[in-house]
Amino acid sequence: MNHPPIRTFHPRRGRMGPRHADAHTALWPAHGLLIEDGDRSPLDLDELFGRDNPKVLEIGFGMGDTLAATARADPGRDYLGIEVHTPGIGNLLALIQDQDLSHVRVARGDAMQLAHRLAAGSLDAIHVYFPDPWPKARHHKRRLIQPGNVALLRERLRAGGILHCATDWPDYAEAMAATLDADPGLEPVDRDRAGRPETKFELRGTRAGRPITDLRYRRRTC
């Protein structure tokens, strides 16, 4: 008997305001990508972006402000963000329009389904900023940073590529570090935010008195 995959996210629908809806209508055909369950067809990122620059994947970009700020400061790399929150998707599309971020693409769906469709070594970096901590012990199996997921993401990085994770939940930070340390294809770089803009989730965690942990790992070159 086949069981449905364990989701690492809550399906989140929401109503888009006029600005976001207009941006979605105008930009989705050129900048949007729907990730459908069960689709394992290869995805050519150079074709998606129309150029062969280094590629960065951001998983769970929220409202997209951090991704937009990072991409704006880094025009030499292409940015693909994936999210399930429809207002966030609409907001990032509006930011693309307002800030002329032609090197950003927006995917909707399951990030691990997307990862299965990417070629090995096709990414320069992967950003996982403040994923759902699933704080209840019985839900820990839904956390994104699990050994199997990390192995898949690491394979999508080029040799020397960076996996950058951040969280404001101390127990998740410990679990993340243990999982990343245990992956034989990764080596720790540092715990520096490395110019990562502050996110709304981070600000919320700071206000609640939770420490912020950044974990940066490099795919080993041999």
- 200 labeled part of a ligand binding site: yes
Query: What pLDDT sits at residue 48?
Result: 97
Token pair 């105008």 is at which residue? 26
Calculate mean pLDDT across residues 139-160: 94
Residue 86 assigned ligand-binding role: no
Judged by DSSP in three states, 137 sits in: helix
Sign of dihedral through CA atoms 65, 110, 14, 49? positive
Q: Residue 93 pLDDT > 50, yes or no? A: yes
58 annotated as a binding-site residue = yes
Pairing status of strand 55-59 against strand 123-129: parallel
Element holding 31 (H helix, E strand): helix 18-31
- For 161-204, the pLDDT digits (tens) are 999 999 999 999 999 999 999 999 999 999 999 889 988 888 88
CA dihedral of 195, 199, 201, 204, whole degrees rounded to 10: 100
Entry pTM: 0.91
What pLDDT does residue 8 have?
Answer: 52
Question: Residue ranges per domain, the chain?
Answer: 21-219
Phi, psi of 127 (to 5 degrees): -110, 125
Q: Could you confirm whether 132 is annotated as catalytic?
A: yes
User: For the residues 102-106, what does the mean pLDDT come to?
Assistant: 98
* CA 190 – CA 215 distance, rounded (Å): 7
55 carries a ligand binding annotation: no
Is there a binding annotation on residue 202? yes
Better-predicted residue by pLDDT, 149 or 205: 149
pLDDT tier at 1 (50, 70, 90 boundaries)?
very low
Q: How far apart are CA 37 and CA 31, in angstroms?
A: 20
CATH superfamily of 21-219: Vaccinia Virus protein VP39 (3.40.50.150)
pLDDT tens by residue, 6-20? 555 455 555 667 888
| Annotated catalytic residue, options 37, 65, 100, 132 | 132
Tens digit of each residue's pLDDT (9 = 90 or more) over 37-75:
889 999 999 999 999 999 999 999 999 999 999 999 999
Q: What is the pLDDT of residues 115-148, one digit of tens each?
A: 999 999 999 999 999 999 867 888 689 899 999 9
Question: What is the rounded average pLDDT of the residues 143-156?
Answer: 97
Higher pLDDT, 18 or 3: 18
